[in-house]
Structure 1
């Protein structure tokens, strides 16, 4: 599937992937035409079929993340909703939480809320110049009341891949749970929640999993009972005044996005068919191509891991003397290239990168990005830089 007929060179996959595989579009359309009843809310054939579509998507996600019981995966509107459920549903007053200094606001803002309202203590572990934190740093930050460690698998600004397995290994036997934000890694990096020691995994449906917007979810280890932060109808135990204890109903109050989840299931099947290793290899090669080209230009600084190092398909950069927003605007209006400029909802990461005063331009590739599109970005940045 190519984007050759579109006038847009889309390099904003870290925000949401586009275009989607044709199978995703077909799955959404099929659900709208044939399975648009309310899942779990009736025994008629359309409602039953809608429930099957939902469960099939859980099964596909379970294969991808190596989850034993598909019902340990609950659906949410996005990664932010999943992270809010994990954080607010797990921590209690007086707890201590450790996070990294490159977290997205989807982690930072719930934690700052918890500090203000629940008297929760929060420590942000500093990252090095490439955005990496170590297991040793996490261990050094532990306190007697530490209950949760939160790590983003890959920074949405820097593309840095964090050592999740080493961090999980260092926490073994300490009664501390690990929550991983897989917003930039789901569908790109291999994730085995059991082998990697991940207790909770928040993921988007609309990025590397290639599904529609408005989809995402949270894996919750069977030993963890989160306090739901949404209460309401689940289609089960309707006579009870309290939220059901059974999963996934406990965490899925209200009507689910059946067409979106149908598309998400199709996106996950596409990823499983292609393989995360192949997708990562392609995106890594494309990111290296962009980096190599930009490094040939004067006054360009690339953030995150150095050329040749592991990273996701994100290349953020600053051009001396050019405001990132202006660079992004010119790329869009004059070259038809879509990138993202600003602070990317991650001021902590910008502090680590030393770009709090300017922000940065972020180009991010996807599994359908071409080498030609990368080269056109490099040429456009070269031409723009020559005029300043």
Structure 2
């Protein structure tokens, strides 16, 4: 009888252990499934800001973590520039972009994954803004044998991460995150190189034409006008001849910076060619665009540009613009309308230069004709 009771007790204990193992297997399967979904989401991110926003927010909430921190090696401030230029507003309180690897080497002295209870020093390094961390996993992000970052997962549960458990899936996660970060930076950098003028850091002509097409479609959709404006630095050849091309380059960069500073964030500034810039002003009618052009012209004329030799130059620029009204847009020939807009602005600019430079002229767009109609010029 005792043997039967003993067997019954052992049977119940065995069933309990099997049940625990089944529950654990189910939880692990669900966890791996969640990580698989997270991996697909990260791989689908098209920008660094989108990826980091997911990691620092959605990933944290999805896996019920009290904190996620990220440290990235950013010696040339490439990542910071990409984040600054993104339309996604990212809370960077749990993100650190560093010019050296010193902190990363302190966190990962042997490039290994850490899991367990962090000491006060480690908490300060990776969870500066989240003091209540009772266990954590800190993942080294490595690409081509280079430590590029560290991803920290923090929990209030002291048993969430400990040295007695195996975390192979976290090693896999660290590799995926490192690849995704590198891919996003490379992809966005290539896109910027193909659309940004290297000297002035404004859009190049190709990117401007793409933006002009977007503005045409937006104008058709929102029933709002926009202005297309061309700006040409007066007597620029004299600057190159008198002071050299280094000064010419300095002037182009300074003009570009001033134009970008004085227009709205929603406006577009591009280097259209040589010393000529193009500007798009969404939502601006004739009077608005004229006011913008005159403000830009006066500010440029008053700005003290410095030559490479330290001499101060007072420059001027000529402006020409046209207005695209929603009624002008013929959706079946957007490319033709784009050419007409540029041609109209260019002819208005020609009027400004012909009549003495340092002026603003406006030409009416006539979408039914290949030649813009010259309206009465707004000349200052």
Greater fraction of residues in helix: 2
Q: Which TM-score band (shorter chain)?
A: under 0.3
| Higher RCO, 1 vs 2 (CA within 8 Å, ≥6 residues apart) | 1
TM-score (norm 1): 0.26
Which has the greater radius of gyration?
A: 2
